[in-house]
Amino acid sequence: MQAERLRKGGTIGIFCPSHVADMKRYAQTARALERLGFAVKFGKNVCLDSYGYAASAEERAQDLNELVADEEVQMVLFNGGESAVEILPHIDYEAIRRHPKLFCSYSDATSILNTIHARTGLVTYYGPGAGDFADLRLYNYEQFCAHFVQGYEAPKAFVSDSEWKTLHGGSCEGRLIGGYSALFALLLSNRYFRYDGQEKYLLFLEDHEMFSNVGEAATYLGFVEQSAFMERVTGLIFGQYAAEAPEALLRCLQRLGERNNIPVVYTDDFGHGARHAVLPIGRRAKLDADAQSLLFE
């Protein structure tokens, strides 16, 4: 299931599942989105600090559920941070099935994006967060328009803005799934998330040196690799870790590919860097690691 694309003049809803909103910064985001031709609507609880680090789980979920129910809202956009997982029990998944929207974010959004797809079948999007529109780069703007906006041709192939590194060759296909490596590893044991034991998955993960040293990144990869889920993984795309990827990380990814005999590539096109390519969670895709191409079905 896919939501309708954004119309010019359409409304983008913003809520905060992972932090208390700084409305001075969010005002910049709103102005940028309005200049692009969209209306903006904020959840009513974005500035609450009920827990001392965010609004309560119920208050944050209430914002999401109200944006879902709002017929004017076509897209739900949000930023990362910490604690988004707390709202999973309170999301109205049935309402999302009845009123499918475009959901887009990254980082701490990993739990929300994957769980919504898993429980509803709706394609969600690992891409720019709300804050990235305050300083919108050309590549990110092109990705946003191509994937979300009416009047732009929907992409049939991933458009890269960086040089990929092939760490283990081969080709594969599967349903795209993934996100921030630590959170995806934790999500595999979460009872609100589920994956299809008969499906093949093309996994994408990302991490960054500001959060994890190479040993920590290897730990998260190890938890994913040693889980039952790994039996369903056909290939791995790993996103930006640093301006210059450490050789130790690249060798770690190479070994993972060799042990599991799956294609593995590294790219700077998505993650916590400046580039925010859009990866549709739940859409089938084909990876050719040798040709360094990703095609969407």
The CATH number that applies at residue 177 is 3.50.30.60
- Domain span including residue 33: 11-148
pLDDT at 231: 97
Provide the 8-state DSSP code for 157.
B
Q: Which of 270, 268, 266 is nearest to 292 (CA)?
A: 266
Examine residue 45 and state whether it is found in any structural domain, yes or no. Answer: yes
Strand partners, 204: 178, 237
CA distance 152 to 142: 9
Number of domains in the chain: 2
For the chain (297 residues), the mean pLDDT of every run of 10, in chain order, is 93 97 92 95 96 97 98 95 96 97 97 98 96 91 95 92 96 98 97 95 96 96 98 97 93 98 97 95 98 96
Tally of CB atoms within 10 A around 191: 7
SS3 letters for 245-280? CCHHHHHHHHHHHHHHCCCEEEEEEEECCCCCCCEE
Examine residue 206 and state whether it is found in any structural domain, yes or no. Answer: yes
pLDDT at 27: 93
The CATH number that applies at residue 20 is 3.40.50.10740
Q: What is the pTM of this model?
A: 0.96
CA distance 122 to 102: 9
pLDDT at 212: 93
Rg (CA), the chain: 18
**134 and 221 housed in the same domain:** no
